Amino acid sequence: MPSKTETAQSKFEVKLGAATREAFGRTLAELGRENRDIVVCDADLSKSTMTTYFAKEFPDRFFSCGIAEANMVAVAAGLAMAGKIPFASSFSPSS
């Protein structure tokens, strides 16, 4: 056990990668390039959820549903029924 003046050394190296939301947004755009059936529904949070990457590349497959998450989910369900692969994107604060 280290003394009060010593610092403990970690056995693990911390490597910082992309933030989860950044990886999410970039991956959606990558998937959109591979599959034309992928669509994105967003609840007016595209700058926070990083779906802006998808929206810029595929504006015809990006649906901004405004601040209406329940409606967004219904839109996504309808798109799925029509054969699309929807990603409904929002978030909620946690405590």
Catalytic amino acids?
A: 69
Give the integer Cα–Cα distance in Å for 49 and 21.
6
Show the beta-strand stretches assigned E in 1-95.
Answer: 38-42, 62-64, 85-89
